[in-house]
């Protein structure tokens, strides 16, 4: 079941009314409803993989309780390693078995030997990368005694499978989300309205921006050899807006839906395309994953402490692992390495924390320096996205090679004026709302009620108009 489907538009109101009118007298009943609703939501895709979520939840729930009673250091470490081994083992098998198998075979071929490996016909469970990291962080935090393990199995299982963010995040920490399942939740009209606004903006990003861009991107990347350089550049830019509208749109819908049920999820995107350097971009893009790697990998490795060599090593590890997390393809690893190279000068010259504030904060227009910084950062990001979107390394290299040809300054063969206008309006609204948590959070608050409702009606009309071009969420594949 996906957010931009008819099924979800029926599912959500039913769960909402049962939650607030049938089970509102008991937290346990509400949690139980959320648990079964989440399992139903996931089973709509493939019920067989419910067993995987249940098994993963059971393992980490039991390990959490064992860690509570275990005082021996070796036993505690063994329990943690068990959790890591099982979680990463499942993720590795479903997501990376064929990648390692094929890479192993290719390595032998390059050495002049023939070595055939078997390829398994494995279906990648939707959202496995997200809920695996969520349960894993719980075990690590319990091990480090940052949080106390819960004895409420219904609350824990609901935390792992919470349907708004189950499939594509945000990747929540137990320290933030789990306690919310143990607190009484009262319906708050203003929070619900705010949640609906964020859902509306998320659907606009996904249906109007991302799905329209996807049609053009798919055509250009599939037929790049027959297009001019300028068209290929346009295709890469459109993909940048596709992936942002798609993924941040999902996050907005997830966060807004959670607010309807009285839950607060972390912000996952903070207007990343207005970043003035790559370090700022990664503080604003997929925040839940970036902070996860920072806290559970980068800092334990030493972070930015120690010698220059160790700092450089840690940066490359964190970006390569981030790339590999996205998928079993060398293109993602190259994408990660490229971002590491982007980040490196900032680290070496200690300028990676120069832009902690918002671009042109408190002002309508940025300075010329900020415009140049935003443009250069966006350009580097767009170039890296080519590897992310390409089918394989050869596809990416061929695409880039074709960009640097004689047709670089020609008029693009594809120039969809309506979509470009929609993107420009979208960027303008995002710029005006960049100091909020999402584009339209505060944008119409000071307008007359009639103007505010007209703006919402226009957004709804655009969503309905373009809803026929439904495209699957990109991050479902990760």
Question: What is the C-alpha separation between 41 and 20, in angstroms, rounded?
Answer: 19
Question: What is the C-alpha separation between 154 and 35, in angstroms, rounded?
Answer: 7
Q: Of 137, 131, 181, which is closest to residue 156 (Cα–Cα)?
A: 181
- 213 with 149, same domain: the answer is no
Per-residue model confidence as pLDDT tens digits over 381-433: 999 999 999 999 999 999 999 998 887 788 888 989 999 999 999 999 999 99
**Residue that is last in its domain, among 187, 206, 237:** 187
What is the CA 473 to chain-centroid distance, rounded?
10
Angle at 439 between CA 178 and CA 210, to 5 degrees: 90
pLDDT in tens, the chain (478 residues): 788 888 999 999 999 999 999 999 999 999 999 999 999 999 988 788 899 999 999 999 999 999 988 888 899 999 999 999 999 998 888 877 766 566 555 554 555 555 555 555 667 778 888 999 999 999 999 999 999 999 999 999 999 999 999 988 799 999 999 999 999 999 999 999 999 999 999 999 999 999 999 999 999 999 999 999 999 999 999 999 999 999 999 999 999 999 999 999 999 999 999 999 999 999 999 999 999 999 999 999 998 888 899 999 999 999 999 999 988 889 999 999 999 999 999 999 999 999 999 999 999 999 999 999 999 999 999 999 999 999 999 999 999 999 988 877 888 889 899 999 999 999 999 999 999 999 999 888 877 888 889 999 999 999 999 987 667 777 666 6
What the block records as the tokens of 34 is 């959320």
Residues 6+ apart with CB under 8 A from 113: none
Q: Of 137, 169, 59, which is closest to residue 297 (Cα–Cα)?
A: 137
- 142 with 228, same domain: the answer is no
- 237 with 383, same domain: the answer is yes
Per-residue model confidence as pLDDT tens digits over 212-250: 999 999 999 999 999 999 999 999 999 999 999 999 999
- 171 with 200, same domain: the answer is no
- 74 with 130, same domain: the answer is yes
**How many CA atoms, within 13 angstroms, populate the side-chain half-sphere of residue 193?**
8
Q: How far is CA 412 from CA 212, 232, 242, 395, 421, in A?
A: 17, 8, 19, 20, 16
- 266 with 410, same domain: the answer is yes
Q: Of 347, 321, 349, 346, which is closest to residue 335 (Cα–Cα)?
A: 321
- 390 with 423, same domain: the answer is yes
- 83 with 194, same domain: the answer is no
Q: Is residue 173 part of a domain?
A: yes
**Residue that is last in its domain, among 130, 160, 187:** 187
Question: What is the C-alpha separation between 358 and 360, in angstroms, rounded?
Answer: 6
Q: Is residue 182 part of a domain?
A: yes
**Residue that is last in its domain, among 168, 187, 206:** 187
* Run of H or E residues at 158: helix 153-161
Q: Of 250, 256, 221, 259, which is closest to residue 238 (Cα–Cα)?
A: 221
Q: Is residue 291 part of a domain?
A: no
Question: What is the C-alpha separation between 24 and 3, in angstroms, rounded?
Answer: 25
Q: Is residue 152 part of a domain?
A: yes
Q: Is residue 139 part of a domain?
A: yes
The pTM score is 0.93
pLDDT at 135: 92
Burial classification of residue 113, based on how many CB atoms lie within 10 Å of its CB (0-12 exposed, 13-18 middle, 19 or more buried): exposed
Q: Is residue 106 part of a domain?
A: yes
Under DSSP, is residue 122 helix (H, G, I), strand (E, B) or coil? coil
Q: Is residue 339 part of a domain?
A: no
- 84 with 198, same domain: the answer is no
Q: Of 462, 436, 447, which is closest to residue 200 (Cα–Cα)?
A: 462
- 361 with 452, same domain: the answer is yes
Q: Is residue 282 part of a domain?
A: no
- Please state the domain count of the chain: 2
Under DSSP, is residue 123 helix (H, G, I), strand (E, B) or coil? coil
- 367 with 461, same domain: the answer is yes
Question: What is the C-alpha separation between 66 and 151, in angstroms, rounded?
Answer: 11
Under DSSP, is residue 223 helix (H, G, I), strand (E, B) or coil? coil
Q: Of 339, 353, 335, which is closest to residue 280 (Cα–Cα)?
A: 353
Question: What is the C-alpha separation between 231 and 415, in angstroms, rounded?
Answer: 8
Q: What sign for the dihedral angle of Cα 460, 461, 464, 470?
A: negative
Question: What is the C-alpha separation between 454 and 55, in angstroms, rounded?
Answer: 48
Q: Of 181, 161, 177, which is closest to residue 57 (Cα–Cα)?
A: 161
Question: What is the C-alpha separation between 459 and 208, in angstroms, rounded?
Answer: 9
- 129 with 44, same domain: the answer is yes
Tell me which of 205, 311, 326, 402 is the catalytic residue.
326
Range of the domain at 174: 6-187
What the block records as the tokens of 283 is 């503080």
Tell me if residue 395 is catalytic.
Answer: no
Measured in residues, the chain has a length of: 478
Report yes or no: 217 and 389 within 8 Å, Cβ to Cβ.
yes
What the block records as the tokens of 285 is 């893009």
What the block records as the tokens of 150 is 């819960």
Under DSSP, is residue 260 helix (H, G, I), strand (E, B) or coil? helix
């Amino acid at each position: 079941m996906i957010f931009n489907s008819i099924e979800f538009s029926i599912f959500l109101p039913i769960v909402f009314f049962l939650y607030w009118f049938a089970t509102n007298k008991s937290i346990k009943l509400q949690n139980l409803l959320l648990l079964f609703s989440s399992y139903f939501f996931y089973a709509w895709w493939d019920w067989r993989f419910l067993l995987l979520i249940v098994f993963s939840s059971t393992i980490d729930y039991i390990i959490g309780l064992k860690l509570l009673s275990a005082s021996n250091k070796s036993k505690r470490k063994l329990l943690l390693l068990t959790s890591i081994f099982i979680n990463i083992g499942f993720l590795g098998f479903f997501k990376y078995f064929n990648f390692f198998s094929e890479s192993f075979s290719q390595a032998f071929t390059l050495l002049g030997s023939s070595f055939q490996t078997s390829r398994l016909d494995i279906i990648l469970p939707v959202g496995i990368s997200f809920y695996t990291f969520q349960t894993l962080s719980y075990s690590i935090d319990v091990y480090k005694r940052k949080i106390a393990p819960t004895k409420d199995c219904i609350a824990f299982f609901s935390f792992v499978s919470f349907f708004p963010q189950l499939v594509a995040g945000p990747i929540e920490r137990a320290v933030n989300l789990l306690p919310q399942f143990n607190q009484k939740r009262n319906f708050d009209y203003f929070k619900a309205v705010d949640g609906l606004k964020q859902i509306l903006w998320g659907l606009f990003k996904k249906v109007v921006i991302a799905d329209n861009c996807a049609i053009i991107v798919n055509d250009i990347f599939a037929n790049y050899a027959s297009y001019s350089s300028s068209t290929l550049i346009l295709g890469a830019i459109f993909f940048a807006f596709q992936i942002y509208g798609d993924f941040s749109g999902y996050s907005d819908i997830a966060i807004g839906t959670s607010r309807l049920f009285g839950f607060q999820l972390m912000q996952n995107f903070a207007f990343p395309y207005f970043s003035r350097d790559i370090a700022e971009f990664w503080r604003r893009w997929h925040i839940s994953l970036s902070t996860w790697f920072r806290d559970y990998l980068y800092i334990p490795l030493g972070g930015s402490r120690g010698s220059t060599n160790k700092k450089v090593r840690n940066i490359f590890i964190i970006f390569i692992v981030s790339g590999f997390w996205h998928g079993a393809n060398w293109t993602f690893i190259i994408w990660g390495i490229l971002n590491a190279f982007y980040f490196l000068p900032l680290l070496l010259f200690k300028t990676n924390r120069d832009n902690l504030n918002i671009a042109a904060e408190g002002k309508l227009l940025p300075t010329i320096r900020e415009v140049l910084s935003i443009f250069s950062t966006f350009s580097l990001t767009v170039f890296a996205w080519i590897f992310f979107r390409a089918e394989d390394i050869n596809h990416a290299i061929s695409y880039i090679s074709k960009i640097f040809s004689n047709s670089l300054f020609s008029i693009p063969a594809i120039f969809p004026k309506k979509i470009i206008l929609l993107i420009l309006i979208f960027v303008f609204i995002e710029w005006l709302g960049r100091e909020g948590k999402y584009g339209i959070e505060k944008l119409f608050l000071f307008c007359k009620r009639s103007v505010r409702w007209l703006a919402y009606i226009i957004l709804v009309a655009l969503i309905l108009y373009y809803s026929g071009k439904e495209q699957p969420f990109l991050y479902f594949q990760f």
